[in-house]
Amino acid sequence: MVMGGGNGSFVRKLIKVCRDSGIIYRSSYIYGGLKGFVDYGSLGIKLKDNLRSFWFKELSNPYTYKLESSIILNRKVWFASKHSKFFLDYTVDCKFSKKKFKVDSIAFTLIQVGDGKLRGQKIPNLEVLTFIININSRLVLKHKLRIFLVKRGFNSTKKVKFSFKNGSYILNNRGSALSLIAQSPVFLKEKGLLNLKKVNLMFLVNVGNSRSAGEGFLFLRPETAQGSFINFLNIKDSFKPKLPFSLIQEGKVFRNEITSKQFSNRLKEFSQLEMHFFLKNNDTLLFIHYKKLITKNYKWFIELGIPYKKVFLEKIKGSLGLSHYSRFCVDIIFKSVMGDIEVAGIAVRGDFDVKQHSKYSNYSFKFFNKKKNKFFLPYVIEPSIGLDRVILAILENSLSYKTCIGGGSNGSLTYFLNFLDNLTPYKLSVFPLVKNNLSIKKKSLHIFNTLSKGADVFYSFENSIGRRYLKSDNMGIPFSVTVDFKSTTKDTVTVRYRNNSRQFTIKVQDAVLFFNNKFN
- The sheet with strand 339-350 has its strands ordered as 64-66, 245-254, 269-279, 379-386, 339-350, 328-336, 311-316
Residue 435 and residue 380 in one domain: no
- Report if residue 510 sits inside a domain: yes
Cα–Cα distance for residue pair 90/101, rounded to 1 Å = 9
DSSP 2: B
Distance of CA 120 to the CA centre of its chain: 28
CA neighbor of 453 nearest in space, from 422, 428, 475, 423: 428
CA neighbor of 83 nearest in space, from 361, 352, 376, 269: 352
- At residue 135, the 3 state secondary structure works out as coil
* Domain hosting residue 501, numbered range: 426-519
Please report the pLDDT score of residue 110 as a whole number: 37
Hey, what amino acid is at 315? Answer: K
Give the residues across from 120 on adjacent strands. Answer: 111
- Report if residue 316 sits inside a domain: yes
229-260 per-residue burial string, b: 16 or more CB within 10 A, e: under 16 = bbbbeebeeeeebebbbbbbbbbebbbbbbee
Residue 472 and residue 347 in one domain: no
- Report if residue 32 sits inside a domain: no
- At residue 196, the 3 state secondary structure works out as strand
Please report the pLDDT score of residue 175 as a whole number: 46
CA neighbor of 118 nearest in space, from 187, 179, 64: 187
Burial of 217 (0-12, 13-18, 19+ CB in 10 A): exposed
Do residues 73 and 221 make contact, with C-beta atoms less than 8 angstroms apart?
yes
Please report the pLDDT score of residue 246 as a whole number: 97
- The sheet with strand 457-459 has its strands ordered as 457-459, 428-432, 479-483, 492-497, 503-507
Please report the pLDDT score of residue 258 as a whole number: 77
Residue 374 and residue 269 in one domain: yes
Do residues 85 and 255 make contact, with C-beta atoms less than 8 angstroms apart?
no
Cα–Cα distance for residue pair 356/77, rounded to 1 Å = 9
In angstroms, what is the C-alpha Rg of the chain?
28
Tallying the residues shown for the chain, one arrives at 520
- At residue 328, the 3 state secondary structure works out as strand
Residue 333 and residue 463 in one domain: no
Residue 346 and residue 237 in one domain: yes
Strands 428-432 and 399-403: unpaired
CATH number for the domain spanning 263: value is: 3.30.930.10
Do residues 423 and 305 make contact, with C-beta atoms less than 8 angstroms apart?
yes
Q: Is 197 left (phi over 0), alpha (psi -120 to 50) or beta?
A: beta
Please report the pLDDT score of residue 337 as a whole number: 87
- Report if residue 208 sits inside a domain: no
**How many angstroms separate the Cα of 444 from the Cα of each of 139, 431, 514?**
85, 7, 17
- Report if residue 3 sits inside a domain: no
Distance of CA 111 to the CA centre of its chain: 30
CATH number for the domain spanning 451: value is: 3.40.50.800
Hey, what amino acid is at 364? Answer: S
Cα–Cα distance for residue pair 181/104, rounded to 1 Å = 9
Cα–Cα distance for residue pair 515/43, rounded to 1 Å = 20
- Report if residue 16 sits inside a domain: no
Residue 65 and residue 174 in one domain: no
Residue 461 and residue 501 in one domain: yes
Strands 479-483 and 503-507: unpaired
Residue 168 and residue 276 in one domain: no
- Report if residue 60 sits inside a domain: yes
Instruction: Please provide the DSSP assignment of 304-322 as one string.
Output: TT--GGGEEEEEE-HHHHS
- Report if residue 257 sits inside a domain: yes
Q: What value, to the nearest 5°, has the Cα angle with vertex 161 and ends 156 and 163?
A: 145
Residue 238 and residue 149 in one domain: no
For the chain, what is the total number of helices (H) and then of strands (E)? 18, 28
Give the orientation angle of helix 42-59 with respect to helix 387-398, to 10 degrees: 110
Cα–Cα distance for residue pair 492/357, rounded to 1 Å = 64
Do residues 52 and 273 make contact, with C-beta atoms less than 8 angstroms apart?
yes
- Domain ends where: 169, 200, 231? 200
DSSP 354: H
Residue 139 and residue 58 in one domain: no
- Domain ends where: 349, 380, 396? 396
Which residues, 6 or more positions from 388, have their beta carbon under 8 angstroms from its beta carbon? 38, 264, 267, 270, 271
Q: What value, to the nearest 5°, has the Cα angle with vertex 57 and ends 52 and 61?
A: 135
Cα–Cα distance for residue pair 157/145, rounded to 1 Å = 10
Residue 227 and residue 367 in one domain: yes
Q: What is the pLDDT along the chain (520 residues), one digit of tens a residue?
A: 444 445 668 888 888 999 999 999 999 999 998 989 999 999 999 999 999 999 999 888 899 999 999 999 999 999 999 998 888 877 777 666 666 766 655 544 434 333 333 334 433 322 223 343 443 344 344 555 555 555 544 554 555 555 555 544 445 444 444 444 444 555 455 555 667 777 889 999 988 765 555 557 899 999 999 999 999 999 999 999 999 999 999 999 999 987 766 778 889 999 999 999 999 999 999 999 999 999 999 999 999 999 999 999 988 765 556 788 999 999 999 999 888 899 999 999 999 999 999 999 989 999 998 888 999 999 999 999 999 999 999 999 999 888 766 555 566 778 899 999 989 999 999 999 998 899 999 999 999 999 999 889 999 998 999 999 999 999 999 999 999 999 989 999 999 999 998 999 999 999 999 998 888 7
Instruction: Please provide the DSSP assignment of 391-403 as one string.
Output: HHHHHHHHEEEEE
What is the number of other CB atoms lying within 10 angstroms of the CB of residue 467?
Answer: 14
Please report the pLDDT score of residue 138 as a whole number: 41
Do residues 221 and 71 make contact, with C-beta atoms less than 8 angstroms apart?
yes
Number of domains into which the chain is organized: 3
Residue 53 and residue 121 in one domain: no
